[in-house]
Structure 1
Amino acid sequence: MDDTWGAGADFRTTSGPVRGRRSPEGVTAVLGIPYAAAPFGPGRFRRPRPAAGWRGRRDCGAFGPVAPQSAELPGSPVWHPGDEDVLTVNVWVQPRPDGGPLPVLVWIHGGAYTFGSSAQPDFDGTALARAGVLVVSCNYRVGFEGFGHVPGLPDNRGLLDQAAALRWVRENIAAFGGDPGNVTVAGHSAGAGSVACLMAMEETRGLFRRAIAHSVPGAFLTVEAAVATTSRIAAEAGVAPTAEGLLSASPGRLVAAADRVAGRLGDDPVVAIQAYDPVVFQPVVGGEVLPGDPLSAPASGIARDVDLLVCHTLEEYWFLHEIGGVREVTSEAELVGFARALRLPGRVVEGYRALMPDAPVLDRYLALSGDARFGEYSSRLAEHHAGAGGRAYLSRFARRRATPSGETRPWHTADIPFAFGNLDADGAAFLIGGAPDEQDRALSRRMLRAWVDFATHGDPGWPPVTADVTPVNVWAVPGDRMADDGDSAVRALWRGVPLDLQRR
């Protein structure tokens, strides 16, 4: 937080009093509030425990430390060995003129379930707070600490941390001016996958009323795959794949071991898809925390009372290719091999060839990959939720920009600075293709307003998905448009194709 922020206000939490800092515009930010105890020592690889209390006023003017990881992100803190108090929340609030309670938006960051933090500059909640919602963001365990399988101990500890943060919101947010009965949980990428999981988890019932999920990744680990992944990481770390062996390895040692394993995941034919998408950690499906895939969960009606807003970008995978996050596929034979690894029928590959007849193989591969891993899964999540009786809305981000070095596509993550109103944040220029112009700022205002309206009363401003019709709001410049997925040639290719994306 920069020096333009001045003295702020005091708030009392169940653990003790805290003080934040107020911006010249009247938004108070209270950062780095512990919502659970440090998940190390006796608490390592276990469910989150209550945070210790304090008596004196706690100065909360800086973000808390990030969870163990090797990533170094623009404008964000990095993890240092010894950083332990990583389970913290941040609050941005501008009180209503009439003093009434504010709708609450809880943000869950992404990062392949392996890296990231709530301190990333494009996640600053100031603009949303000025628009009328109270914003909360949280850090949670990522990588092996949060999602690695440890025999005899709970899987999906990162999800359990997020649930604990939501319980903190329920118990404390009224003291900040928020309405604990009007909470929206939101996330992007792995954060959106987390949102989908939270909707499917029994222990989160009643903790939120609405959900926003941008670019939901349709990938999970079976218990068997999680066990196999742990075995490889333990061997790389030089310890036994047991609770005792894994506890003997420091967090940094497991981070380094997982990074090395990620570079060689394609060697194992059991997890052939990881040759193309080398992500080590995913939520583990099966067991007490997450019994089933969130895409099938709506059929049970478990989250029917939660309103859902889904968005994905039109060309997700171009970003992952740009940053070197996925393997290149440049020949027809390689493309067929990729489809086989993903268990896709040949007609899908042929369909993309017909839709993109002049495109190189790499472009068709990126289009197919992005739709398989994000676009189709996100769209089906909204449709399944609506089909089970829930209220769901669908949108797509299609904004493009021509630059001297080429076209900036509507790729993964580009939509987030627009929705947060943070087009000038560190790192945003890379995502959106340079400095924003007035059309970009107008689009940002529209997207931010849709989030605020949805969090406030459950309506982002366009028709919901029904059992028969899938209307889609397409975010674009100079203006948005409505589309009907019944007329979509891309969606038609995927009809009847199972999305069995669990890694076995």
Structure 2
Amino acid sequence: MTRFTSVTISSGPLRGTTVDGVDRFLGVPYAAAPFGPLRFQAPRPHARWDEERDATRNGPTAPQNPYADGLERLLPTIRIDGAEILTANIWAPTERTGGGVPVLVWIHGGSLSHGSNALPMYDGSRFARDGIVFVALNYRLGVEGFAVLDDAPLNLGLADIAHGLQWVHEEIAAFGGDPTQITVAGQSAGGTLVAGLLGHPTVGHLVRRAVIQSAPLQADDRSKAGRITRLVADKLGTGTTRAEFAAQKPETILGALRALTGKATPLAGGPGFGLVLDESTVPGSPVDALAGGIADHVDILIGTTRDEYRLWTVPTGLSERIGRVHLTLARLKSGVGRCVVARYRANRRGMKAGDVLGAVVIDMLLRRPLVRIADARSRRGARTWVYEFVWPSPVERLGAAHGVELGFVFDLLDLPEYRALNGHGAPQQLADDMHGVWVSFARGDDPGWPAWDEHRKVRIFGPVPGPVQPLPRADEIDVWDR
């Protein structure tokens, strides 16, 4: 049975709903709408309201294009019009405790160009059921959030998330959360932003724990990161100043992006958005910062899926188009040594060149930085737990592809959005296991296997419950440094 519930925060009173012991407040603004005079500007506090604000529906979504080239069959897009895109969705246990309960702040993925907290797949009710206040944040995407303009702040999407984290710290007690027990978590580009938060000069200290799922951990200099901005400007016939971009409607900019990035993927290449090195927001690349000790006070749970690359090679048909010549050209372009590719090919005899290339690229972007961070943190005594997800989805031969683990983490396998990725009959036992680990970690408990040390132990999430083993395919990681 659904009933209404109310809470008051610094900005004013809110009206949400209560269902099955979970309070839900949706579309709660944590910053002012980033349009009009605030477009391409740092986030600002939201104005106060006096009358009770409706928080029973999702807020507007950031301007974005839907997925294309086959990915739209697997990855949903939702569009809700409006300017108030910087919102938080909060799920909290109805029963409040005196000292507050742990908080998990979720940052969605989507190549910094897609996604929203309005997607049903990021419903945090199962976390609230298990005693966690769950907060999902929206942020500016694409050009609005990550353009490199001549006279505008950089990394605006990350600045939004940092502003949102500060907002959570200040307001979450009203929802029953403990502001001293905040875990930040994210998948894919969301994990990149989590890593960016850990090194952020002004809010990194607010985080107690972090979960980084399948995330690239690099940042580029202004010139390299600004390539896509310059291409958009050329497409629009304009310069790269804030005024010139602010004069363009968001839909016009999205049209230019569609023409430029329709088939771009981490494997196929093409222009894309990323974090930019910037003293005030990203003073160092996340992999360098974390390996260098910037967040040793934070416990980190980090991992990947075994077949990350298959999200981009299978539904797009890329796996059928990549041959040995493409593999060689990609190796030369990226500066990967011949011995590296030889090792990956030897471990994948009989597999297609696209599988070999996919494994090489994903290890370059994800697994090598992960291992570097875990090794460095271990030497200093900082705690890092590493996992790998290996359950193979039967849908379109995805296997354990990028994003397949999300339905298990959120314990929402029956959602249509997750069935599109996982099919029918995905094992509930695995969802109980993964979701339980994420909940335990957010509470501050040991997740259930040894922290990373010289033995490099990894928890495997797959068809067989609970195995812990040395780093899978360690020979492939180690060959890069020979």
- In the superposition, the TM-score normalised over structure 1's length comes to 0.89
Alignment equivalent of 1:414, drawn from 398, 401, 404: 404
Question: In percent, how many aligned pairs have the same letter?
Answer: 33
**Correspondence 1:199-238 to 2 at 5 A:** 199-238=198-237
Alignment of 1:314 onto 2:315? no
1:280 corresponds in structure 2 to 272
Supply the AA of the counterpart residue of 1:301: G
Alignment of 1:49 onto 2:30? no
1:181 corresponds in structure 2 to 180
1:476 corresponds in structure 2 to 462
Alignment of 1:445 onto 2:432? yes
Describe the SS at the equivalent of 1:427: helix
Describe the SS at the equivalent of 2:350: coil
Alignment of 1:380 onto 2:375? no
Give, in whole Å, the separation in 1 of the partners of 2:186 and 2:309. 18
Supply the AA of the counterpart residue of 2:424: A
1:9 corresponds in structure 2 to 5
Give, in whole Å, the separation in 1 of the partners of 2:441 and 2:418. 24
Alignment equivalent of 1:22, drawn from 18, 22, 30: 18
TM-fit CA distance, 1:226: 2.8
Moved more, 391-400 or 249-258: 249-258
Alignment of 1:154 onto 2:153? yes
1:70 corresponds in structure 2 to 65
Give, in whole Å, the separation in 2 of the partners of 1:325 and 1:279. 20
Work out whether residues 385 and 392 of structure 1, in 8 Å CA contact, stay in contact via their aligned partners in 2. Answer: yes
Alignment of 1:113 onto 2:112? yes
Alignment of 1:456 onto 2:457? no
Give, in whole Å, the separation in 2 of the partners of 1:386 and 1:355. 28
TM-fit CA distance, 1:390: 2.0
Give, in whole Å, the separation in 1 of the partners of 2:334 and 2:464. 37
TM-fit CA distance, 1:326: 6.2
Give, in whole Å, the separation in 1 of the partners of 2:348 and 2:185. 34
Supply the AA of the counterpart residue of 1:492: D
TM-fit CA distance, 1:191: 0.2
Give, in whole Å, the separation in 2 of the partners of 1:164 and 1:421. 28
Alignment equivalent of 1:490, drawn from 470, 476, 482: 476
2:330 corresponds in structure 1 to 338
Give, in whole Å, the separation in 1 of the partners of 2:475 and 2:238. 51
Describe the SS at the equivalent of 2:48: coil
Q: 1:158 to 1:98 in 2, by over 3 A?
A: closer
Q: 1:76 to 1:357 in 2, by over 3 A?
A: closer
TM-fit CA distance, 1:189: 0.1
Structure 2: tracts of 5 or more residues without a match: none
- Structure 1 runs of 4+ with >6 Å offset: 72-75, 325-328
Give, in whole Å, the separation in 2 of the partners of 1:237 and 1:254. 8
Give, in whole Å, the separation in 1 of the partners of 2:472 and 2:413. 33
Q: 1:34 to 1:301 in 2, by over 3 A?
A: same
Alignment equivalent of 1:392, drawn from 376, 384, 388: 384
Alignment of 1:59 onto 2:59? no
Give, in whole Å, the separation in 2 of the partners of 1:226 and 1:492. 29
Alignment of 1:37 onto 2:27? no
TM-fit CA distance, 1:299: 4.3
Give, in whole Å, the separation in 1 of the partners of 2:249 and 2:397. 44
Residues 337-383 of structure 1: CA distance to partner in whole angstroms, max 9, x if unpaired? 11222221111110111111111212212222222222333333333
Supply the AA of the counterpart residue of 1:453: S
Work out whether residues 391 and 461 of structure 2, in 8 Å CA contact, stay in contact via their aligned partners in 1. Answer: yes
Work out whether residues 314 and 398 of structure 2, in 8 Å CA contact, stay in contact via their aligned partners in 1. Answer: no
TM-fit CA distance, 1:333: 1.8
1:143 corresponds in structure 2 to 142
Give, in whole Å, the separation in 1 of the partners of 2:269 and 2:376. 26
Structure 1: tracts of 5 or more residues without a match: 266-272, 497-504
Moved more, 383-392 or 348-357: 383-392
Describe the SS at the equivalent of 1:113: coil
| RMSD over equivalenced CA pairs, Å | 2.2
1:500 corresponds in structure 2 to none
Give, in whole Å, the separation in 1 of the partners of 2:416 and 2:365. 27
TM-fit CA distance, 1:208: 1.3
TM-fit CA distance, 1:176: 0.5
Supply the AA of the counterpart residue of 1:422: L
Alignment equivalent of 1:435, drawn from 408, 424, 433: 424
Residues 62-106 of structure 1: CA distance to partner in whole angstroms, max 9, x if unpaired? 1111111112676653154xx211000010011457554110000
Supply the AA of the counterpart residue of 1:480: G
